[in-house]
Amino acid sequence: MNHPIADVSLIKPCLLVIMGVSGCGKSKLAKGLQQQLNWPFQEGDSLHSAQNIQKMSEGIPLTDEDRLPWLEKCHDWLKEREVSGDGCGILTCSALKKSYRDILRKDIRGSFYFIYIDVPQDILLQRLQKRKGHFMPASLLSSQLETLDTPDADENFIKITVRNDPFEEVLQKVLLQLQHISLKS
């Protein structure tokens, strides 16, 4: 079945935070967007402290206090991308609570969007159980889902619902929405 293909040349530079719970596909989507758009990319997980990674590896959920320095590092990367002159970048970050998203977007003046990947819990659990070499165990999924505040209408976000859709379709859906936003502005 043929699906529409975005014209990436029509997508205006902006900052994107690919968000959602562990296992939703943030990194894969971000890398796909980075390939298509050729924008700088930062894996948010790599900005976690060794202590945070250790806690999660042991199945201990992070507290807001644990997350704050990490969120500040994520924000700093976004701010750096904004002031670099090109105003574009792609960051993966769970951004589970509205208060976390507020930290990420504070004092950002340019175009900024969250891309919220919504995946049913049963599919997330299957993905996490199959995942190898990641510090986030499947046992923490329920705490992430409990923490998740889905984005509100007043937050600039694109919601993409994913079940077992082919990756290329998901990527094109996001690119088409970014193209649509760019053409409207």
Between the alpha carbon of residue 32 and those of residues 22, 145, 152, the distances in Å are 18, 25, 26
List all residues 6 or more positions away from 58 whose beta carbon is below 8 Å from its beta carbon.
none
Q: Are the beta carbons of 19 and 114 closer than 8 angstroms?
A: yes
Domain boundaries, position 168: 8-184
Residue 148 lies in a domain: yes
Residue 1 lies in a domain: no
pLDDT surpasses 60 at 26: yes
pLDDT tier at 135, thresholds 50, 70, 90: low
Higher pLDDT, 31 or 62: 31
Residue 31 lies in a domain: yes
State the Cα–Cα distance between residues 112 and 71, nearest whole angstrom: 16
For the chain, how many structural domains are there in total? 1
Residue 3 lies in a domain: no
Query: Any idea which of 45-59, 62-76, 100-114 has the lowest mean pLDDT?
Result: 45-59
Q: Kindly state the tokens that stand for 145.
A: 């889902």
What is the per-residue pLDDT across 52-62, written as a single tens digit (0 to 9) for each? 888 877 878 78
> 């201990």: which residue's tokens?
60
State the Cα–Cα distance between residues 143 and 105, nearest whole angstrom: 24
* Average pLDDT for 115-124: 91
Specify the CATH number for the domain of residue 152.
3.40.50.300
Residue 45 lies in a domain: yes
pLDDT surpasses 70 at 7: yes
The DSSP string of 96-146 is: -SHHHHHHHHTT--S-EEEEEEE--HHHHHHHHHH--S-S--GGGHHHHHH
Averaged pLDDT score across all residues of the chain:
89
Residue 171 lies in a domain: yes
**Percent of the chain at pLDDT exceeding 70:** 94
Residue 19 lies in a domain: yes
What is the per-residue pLDDT across 140-176, written as a single tens digit (0 to 9) for each? 677 778 889 999 988 999 999 998 889 999 999 999 9
Residue 2 lies in a domain: no
List all residues 6 or more positions away from 61 whose beta carbon is below 8 Å from its beta carbon.
55, 140, 143, 144, 147
State the Cα–Cα distance between residues 88 and 110, nearest whole angstrom: 9
State the Cα–Cα distance between residues 149 and 17, nearest whole angstrom: 15
